[in-house]
Amino acid sequence: MSLKDEIAILGSGVIGQATGKGFIKKGYRVVFVDIDHKIVKQLRDEGFDSIHTSELKQRSPDLFFVTVQVPTKRKGPQVEKLKKAIEDISFYLKKTDKYVLVVVRSTVPPFTTKNLVTPLLEKLSGKKAGKDFGVCSNPEYLRERFGEEDFLNPKVIIIGSEDEKAAKKLSAFYENFPVSIHHFNTVEAEMHKYVHNLYNACKISFFNEQREVCEEMNADADKIFKAVVESAESSWNPEYGIKNMGPFGGSCLPKDTEGFLRWVKNSLNKKLFLMESVIKVNNRLKRK
């Protein structure tokens, strides 16, 4: 990719701004696009190129990063804003003759890019993915307070695509980043983001639950947990538990999970909901 190529950020909230400002620091031309006039004004006041969505037809970006919000409600993730962004891009694709790359950076359920984004782009633009334009999934792993720092110093870069040309084009934007790129299809890339977040959520809930037990015993949870991080193989061995080796067994884990669960119930009159679930999942896998 050339530094002359223009990147359009559709959805200029926390993630969009961290992504766009990071690319600017890498020397790329970036235009921030949003439906919120306040965000557009805020970015303009900061000295950034920022436009309202209605002005998109006046520009000629080579790549779109879609970073709109996909909130979760009762029926699950809501993709209305994503659809609107795809519609706006489709109208742009319809009028341009150049090959444009569309990158979904928002966190979306698996199959969203393959079954919703790409077909909608083709339908509304009248063009063909893989030939006239490219589509990729490029999940973000940015902390809210340190988004720009995390963007410039990523732990991992995931590029998902069913189109080799699109994947290579997007990879070129990251060629100066100090980390290797993992190539998936779009479904795998979307699934990776969820597994990433769910793993973090499980770890937080595990230690919160164990903290309650420690407090019942007047034990120093912080001191115990710091030592656990050093001692537990699941902490110091990144491969631990991720291989397809079935449910946990052996002489320690089944005995100790059941034993601790019963001891807490009988001695402290306390239920450990997460640990109960861990045992149930493991027993179900054993039965399979």
Q: Degrees (nearest 5) of the Cα angle 17, 25, 97?
A: 75
pLDDT value of position 156: 95
Identify whether residues 167 and 219 lie together within a single domain.
no
Six-digit token string for 67: 């970073």
Helix (H) / strand (E) element for 42: namely helix 37-45
Stretches where the chain sits below pLDDT 50 are none
Residue-level pLDDT at 1? 54
**243 and 178: one domain?**
no
Same domain, residue pair 178 and 141: yes
Residue 105 belongs to some domain of the structure: yes
Domain of residue 158, CATH code = 3.40.50.720
Report pLDDT for 71.
85
pLDDT tens string 5-27: 899 999 999 999 999 999 999 99
**How many Å apart are CA 68 and CA 12, to the nearest integer?**
7
Q: Which residues contact 104 (CB under 8 A, 6 or more apart)?
A: 66, 82, 112, 113, 117, 135, 136, 137, 138, 186
Amino acid at 170: L
Domain that residue 242 falls in:
194-287
Instruction: Quote the number of domains for the chain.
Output: 2
Paired with 100 in beta bridges are: 133
d(CA 202, CA 208): 10
Buried b (16+ CB within 10 A) or exposed e, 31-62: bbbbbeeebbebbeeeebbbbebeebeeeebb
Q: Are residues 122 and 58 in the same domain?
A: yes
205 found inside a domain: yes
